[in-house]
Chain A
Amino acid sequence: MLEFTAPLFLSLQKATGLNFSPFFDEYDFGRLMTGLQTSLLLIVCVLVLSLVVGLLGAAAQRSRSRLLRFLVAAYIAVFRNTPPVVQLLFFYFGLGAFTPQIDMGGWYEPMISAFGWAVIALGIFGGSYNVEIFRAGIEAVPKTTSEATEALGFTPLQTFIHVTLPLALRFSLPSLASNLISLAKTTSIAYVIAVPEMTYALSGVWNDRLNVGEMMTLLFVYYIAVVAIIGAVMGQLERRLAVPGLGK
């Protein structure tokens, strides 16, 4: 890939002085690729974990147990009203200091890496928003559907799994899309615990090469592309799953 882009960007630098070093310098290209891989992997892991947490939380909110419902409400209140950066630092430094170390044959490594803590902290943070979104989706399912399933002899659990949940997921798709997008953008704060994602990788490049403007442009383009991809996937999902006669 580098042999195709290098002449182009070298001549660009010669002509205009714009220094897009990751496209002609091998070392910077390596940093860019690491950043890209880490960032995409981080986004995927965080989004999946936040969806799992959101679904579990929404299920727990419907339980009979008062304590469970209270715990979910407390979880939402705490994670939505404290800064995500401090949450991340709290998880990584506060809890990370007490996780066991693994003997790697001569040196010790913490059991959960910075990447792992970033996934956990951001996943739990994003999940607190998803719980509310799924709950709203479940509440939006018309009462008549559960009456109909009751008439057909479904148990409450069967009703929930086969009727309420599939409809609720469809209702929550639009707000879910915007939350997942903002969560994907929030993964850039994994910078504070030195996870080598895109922002961190490119800040390394601009610290060495002093090409802040060019790398910043690259970052903006990258995040706009990520947002566009998530938006497109969610839009596609919404169209594919649309039930005729429900919603707009």
Chain B
Amino acid sequence: MKTLSMPRPNLLTPILVVTALLLVVATAGVLFFLHVAQGPADSPLNVLFRWMPFILQGFLLNILMSVIAMILATVSGVILGFMQISDATIIRQPARFVTHLFRNSPWLVILFAIMLLVPFEISLPYFGVVMIPGWVKATIGFTLPVMANIAEILRGAVASISTGQWESAESLAFSRMQTMRHVILPQCVRRMLPSWMNWFALLTLMTPIAAILGVNEALGNTQAAMESAGSSPDLLIPFYLFLMSIFFIFIYPVSVCTKRLERRFATT
């Protein structure tokens, strides 16, 4: 047992940081190579430079969609999770059904369902006819699978708290509500945090599929940019590499943090 408590040198983080640097360097290297090989003016590098603001502008929409979807999913997922562990069958069964439906369907299918089945404009009592932009519908489409998974994470976290905690709270005359609020949930938040962050990363990595349905986010803008630049095959590798790098730079810190937290909570 003594060997376990000995501090182990943390090799993973430096390795991963070097990886990140390597990716950036590799991208820069490829771009430079193409730049040198093709000469100036309409070399792929110059084209990419010209279109970079357009792609980054699309990427802002990706971040916006994932942040909004995450907030909505957290709120609705927690509610759904509580419905799943409710005492009343009439609440529990529908909640379970919804969770299973959205957990077991692919992102793309849910996105299609929301994009095609929700009307593109609705008439509200005081505002008249209101258009729903595509990205809002896409955000709802991304919310649903994350919501179902957060509900499942909450259920799992509550189930992982030992029965002794419930019993001792009961012996202190706590009601079920009070036990939940003051005893169970504070412990659940800690256990849920790494998976919650993991789902944020997964969600952000899935937002480019909104481009299939015509939302002008990073992937859609990249493809549009390549098309207006003459859709030459030389553009494909630098443009897609650039797109992968911006996602990597945004997501990588999140996943490193997740891993850190996971390890910290695993030991305590």
Contact = CB atoms under 8 A, between A and B. Distances in A.
B112 interface: yes
Contact of B104 (A81, A86, A185, A216): A185
A30 interface: no
Interface string A76-113: 01101111111101100111010000000000000000
Nearest to A78: B23
Interface in B219-266: 219, 233, 236-237, 240-241, 243-244, 247-248, 251-252, 255
A231 to B, nearest CB: 9
Contacts of A90: 236-237, 240-241, 244
A70 B11 CA distance: 10
A133 to B, nearest CB: 14
Given A81-B255, A216-B112, A86 B15 contact: no
A83 B104 contact: no
Contacts of B209: 85, 189, 192
A212 interface: yes
B236 A220 contact: no
Contact of A223 (B106, B240, B248): B106
Interface string B9-27: 0001001101110110000
Interface residues of B, number: 41
A12 interface: no
B208 A85 contact: yes
Contacts of A191: 108, 212
A74 B19 contact: yes
Interface string A194-235: 000001000100100000110010011001100110000000
A82 B106 contact: no
Nearest to A210: B116
Chief secondary structure at chain B's binding surface: helix
B105 interface: yes
Contacts of B23: 74, 78
Interface range on chain A: under 10, 10 to 19, 20 to 34, or 35 or more?
A: 35 or more
A73 B105 contact: no
A188 interface: yes
A149 interface: no
B116 A212 contact: yes
B236 A224 contact: no
Contact of A224 (B20, B101, B112, B255): B101
Given A86-B219, A220-B101, A80 B212 contact: no
Central interface residue in A82, A97, A212, by most chain B CB within 10 Å: A82
B136 interface: no
B162 to A, nearest CB: 15
Contacts of A69: 15
A78 B212 contact: no
Contacts of A224: 100-101, 104-105
B116 A227 contact: no
A83 B208 contact: yes
A206 B117 CA distance: 12
Contacts of B113: 216, 220
B236 A94 contact: yes
A77 B252 contact: yes
B15 A73 contact: yes
B91 interface: no
Contacts of B255: 80-81
A203 B112 contact: yes
B65 interface: no
Contacts of B208: 83, 85-86
A186 interface: yes
Interface of B: 12, 15-16, 18-20, 22-23, 100-101, 104-109, 112-113, 116-117, 201, 205-209, 211-212, 219, 233, 236-237, 240-241, 243-244, 247-248, 251-252, 255
Interface of A: 69-70, 73-74, 77-78, 80-87, 89-90, 93-95, 97, 181, 185-189, 191-192, 199, 203, 206, 212-213, 216, 219-220, 223-224, 227-228
12 contacts: A73-B19, A83-B206, A86-B243, A94-B241, A97-B233, A97-B236, A181-B104, A185-B107, A186-B107, A216-B117, A219-B112, A220-B109
Given A85-B206, A203-B112, 7 more contacts: A73-B12, A73-B15, A81-B205, A81-B255, A86-B219, A90-B244, A223-B104
